[in-house]
A and B are shown apart, each in its own frame.
Chain A
Amino acid sequence: MRRLALTLAFTAAVCAQSAYAQEDTVSIGIVTAQTGPLAAPGKFQMNGFNLAVEVINGQGGFEVNGKTYKLDLKVYDTRCNAAEGASAMQRLASVDQVPIVLGELCSPVAAAEAPIAQDTQVPLIITVPTAPNLTDEGNPYFFRINANNAQLNRALGAYVQATKAEPLAFIAWNNDAGRGGVNGMKALLPADFEIGYVGYFNVGEVDFSSHIANIRTSGAKAVMLLMDEEPGALAIRQIRDAGLDVQLIGTLAMGSNRFLERLNADYLNGMVQYNALPPNAPLERIKAFSDAYSAKFGEESHGFAAQSYDAVFAAVKAMQAAGSTTEGPKIRDALSALEFEGVIGPISFDDKGQASPPVYVTEWCEGGDRKVIFPPEFAAGCGAG
């Protein structure tokens, strides 16, 4: 009898403890690539999420309807695989019952996750994928905090026209992001702007020799690389080792010190890329984030991390505005009306769920540092990029 009473008391204590923990902690769902060919940018993304959670919890948590909550992350590795992304999204919504999901790295995977977000009424905020069509589907539960290819290309398009970088060649991922980027840039350029060569490669491919041969044959003066840092480093090394003297134009992933470490200043000198967060730009919001990021992770900050960081705050502010940590439709409505100043700049979502953060263009200098060349009002010399 005494043993039964002790067992019941112990069980009640455990249940009460669990219930107490569940009431005080809100788990936000995260879908990202922790392994596979996109594990490197996935690390930036996770660092941004983790830093935001640390800041929020360090301030005592966040309040909703007078009750204070701590934040927790429920992370699934989707490995840039659509089937795994869909499965993770379904699990987060149905089993883990998170109020909101953030993340994803790959546009095709985000496309697979989006319908599940709508079906389960769990808002999904993506923080990296750039394919423009993702926010054209009319999905009310799908939001994007980062700039899409069209917005990114507008910044680079001005540079390409101004420097008359033609014939222009492309090497891009063979997916929505890559093809969307190529089509978007072509649409921005004048009809008579000469396009030299357009080549696509599948995620995971490492041999760019065929593209290089075709670029050489086309006589292109500039090459736009629409890919991430790992294939980007390979492509740039192979282009330069093959003796191809072309202007290199890259993506946000190719503007970090970590990218520089993959190559060296000689390979990158003169290369331009769009950038969501020039880490050394003389803006207080960027400086504060860069300092905090460097202090925690011992490396330079990155746009992917900043976008992910801001997404966590968007989620928290939406829950606060909605007055709920569980009701997806209310959180979704709050997100649509949200406006705040994030690390990446002013954040609000249009009627398609797309934010419009500022986009910068940076250029690698001879000494391995960067300068900002666009927008003109933020132009700064080497070392301030």
Chain B
Amino acid sequence: MATAILEQFINGTMMGSIYVLMALGMVLIYGVMHVLNFAHGVLFMVGGYIAHLFFFNLSGSYPVAILCSMVTLALIGMVLERLVFRSLRDNLRMQIVASLGLILIVQNGVVQLWGPHALQMRPASVDSLVRVGQLSFTVQHFVIIGVVVAAVTTLYLFLRYTRLGTAMRATSQHPEAAVVVGIDPNRVYTITFMIACALAGLGGALLGPLFLIFPQMGDAPMLKALSAIIIGGMGSVPGAIVGGLGIGILESMSTLVIPTDYRDTVVFGVLILMLLVRPWGIFGVRVRGEN
């Protein structure tokens, strides 16, 4: 049993890292822009496809493919923010409708461009194995964990110690006051969206090679990331990290005691419980007037 626990802990940490990437992107967009982007899952998926495109059609270098995926998704994010979400600020209903529409457009667009069949991508880190006692994992498992740790650290340092990061935090706290001190909110929103999309692209580029790259690959991670930011606290970066990792490890470990097809029940059960008991989340801030 100890072996199984260790195995599932590592697997859960790996998937939890992916959820952290997704959740961070969503929490940045919501925290700074107050936009709920349900299309984040398809952006994650596009990241996988773009990485595949660059890996096979350019250098054959996986790190380069990941970087190109992030840059491409950042540019896509810039376009989406300006063309779609800028005009829908402060209109939550229409944001949701727009992002649902984006899901259909992007998924079907990907099927038109790449076809309906799933793609495989096998960089060396996926074909190489690491032994941990009697267990065996692909190197990619640990690459994912390591890259996400690096990404989270970089994001933290960026938000904490750079002018732009400070501007983003200021805008998230009080947009009008940020304008008064000379911060351009449009520029902040665009860059926030670009960073969030780049994180989604990174997630897709990391997870796609481990399993498959297919049009629906972002659907489940998006739901788990949404759960993570609710459990962690809407708008809270530490909450997104704790929520994402927590969900990944919980769903993995729960399969040791309950049938595997019920693991989503456990995750969403915790979500419902959190909404009933502490709806502002673990790290969220309770707003006056809320029960």
The residues of B that contact A210 with a CB separation of less than 8 Å are: 8, 11, 252, 255-256, 260, 263
The residues of A that contact B261 with a CB separation of less than 8 Å are: 174, 199-202
CB-CB nearest in chain B for A230: B118
The answer to whether B216 and A204 have CB atoms under 8 Å apart is yes
The answer to whether B11 and A213 have CB atoms under 8 Å apart is yes
Among B274-289, those with CB < 8 Å from A are none
The answer to whether B260 and A214 have CB atoms under 8 Å apart is yes
User: Please, how many angstroms separate the alpha-carbon atoms of A291 and B3 in the complex?
Assistant: 50
Most buried by B among A206, A230, A262: A206
* Contact flag A241-B136 (CB < 8 Å), given A35-B111, A199-B259: yes
A 332-373 to B, binary, CB cutoff 8 A, 1 in contact else 0: 000000000000000000000000000000000000000000
The answer to whether B4 and A216 have CB atoms under 8 Å apart is yes
User: Please, how many angstroms separate the alpha-carbon atoms of A43 and B118 in the complex?
Assistant: 13
Cβ of B291 < 8 Å from any Cβ of A?
no
CB-CB nearest in chain A for B262: A200
The residues of A that contact B118 with a CB separation of less than 8 Å are: 37, 40, 230
The residues of B that contact A241 with a CB separation of less than 8 Å are: 129, 136-138
A 204-233 to B, binary, CB cutoff 8 A, 1 in contact else 0: 111101111110110000000000001000
The residues of A that contact B111 with a CB separation of less than 8 Å are: 35
> How many A-B residue pairs lie within 8 Å, measured between CB atoms?
80
The answer to whether A216 and B211 have CB atoms under 8 Å apart is no
Looking at chain B's contact residues, the main secondary structure is mixed
The answer to whether B216 and A214 have CB atoms under 8 Å apart is no
A 228-252 to B, binary, CB cutoff 8 A, 1 in contact else 0: 0010001000000111000000000
Cβ of B116 < 8 Å from any Cβ of A?
yes
How many residues of A sit at the interface, in one of the four size bands? 20 to 34
The answer to whether B116 and A36 have CB atoms under 8 Å apart is yes
- Of A39, A204, A214, A234, the residue contacting B4 (CB under 8 A) is A214
- Of B1, B4, B259, the residue contacting A200 (CB under 8 A) is B259
Closest chain-B Cβ to A40's Cβ sits at a distance in Å of 6
Cβ of A34 < 8 Å from any Cβ of B?
yes
* Contact flag A200-B260 (CB < 8 Å), given A34-B116, A241-B138, A242-B136: yes
User: Please, how many angstroms separate the alpha-carbon atoms of A242 and B141 in the complex?
Assistant: 11
The residues of A that contact B214 with a CB separation of less than 8 Å are: 37
B 1-30 to A, binary, CB cutoff 8 A, 1 in contact else 0: 101100110010001000000000000000
* Contact flag A243-B131 (CB < 8 Å), given A39-B117, A210-B8: yes
The residues of B that contact A216 with a CB separation of less than 8 Å are: 3-4, 7
The residues of B that contact A211 with a CB separation of less than 8 Å are: 255, 260
Among A29-43, those with CB < 8 Å from B are 34-37, 39-40, 43
User: Please, how many angstroms separate the alpha-carbon atoms of A262 and B121 in the complex?
Assistant: 11
The residues of B that contact A200 with a CB separation of less than 8 Å are: 259-261
Cβ of B120 < 8 Å from any Cβ of A?
yes
The residues of A that contact B137 with a CB separation of less than 8 Å are: 241-242
The residues of B that contact A243 with a CB separation of less than 8 Å are: 129, 131, 134-136
User: Please, how many angstroms separate the alpha-carbon atoms of A210 and B258 in the complex?
Assistant: 11
The residues of A that contact B259 with a CB separation of less than 8 Å are: 199-200
Cβ of B212 < 8 Å from any Cβ of A?
yes
Among B150-198, those with CB < 8 Å from A are none
The residues of A that contact B255 with a CB separation of less than 8 Å are: 210-211, 213-214
* Contact flag A213-B134 (CB < 8 Å), given A174-B261, A234-B212: no
User: Please, how many angstroms separate the alpha-carbon atoms of A61 and B44 in the complex?
Assistant: 49
User: Please, how many angstroms separate the alpha-carbon atoms of A241 and B127 in the complex?
Assistant: 8
User: Please, how many angstroms separate the alpha-carbon atoms of A190 and B51 in the complex?
Assistant: 50
User: Please, how many angstroms separate the alpha-carbon atoms of A381 and B178 in the complex?
Assistant: 77
The answer to whether A207 and B211 have CB atoms under 8 Å apart is yes
The answer to whether A209 and B136 have CB atoms under 8 Å apart is no
The answer to whether B7 and A213 have CB atoms under 8 Å apart is yes
The answer to whether B216 and A217 have CB atoms under 8 Å apart is no
Q: Which residues of B contact A (CB under 8 A)?
A: 1, 3-4, 7-8, 11, 15, 111, 116-118, 120, 129, 131, 134-138, 211-212, 214, 216-217, 220, 252, 255-256, 259-261, 263
User: Can you list 18 A-B contacts with CB-CB less than 8 angstroms, sorted by A residue number?
Assistant: A35-B116, A39-B116, A206-B211, A207-B15, A209-B8, A210-B8, A210-B11, A210-B263, A212-B7, A213-B4, A213-B11, A213-B255, A217-B1, A234-B211, A234-B212, A241-B129, A242-B137, A243-B129
Query: Which 4 residue pairs of A and B lie closest in terms of their CB atoms, listed nearest first?
Result: A243-B136, A210-B255, A35-B116, A206-B211
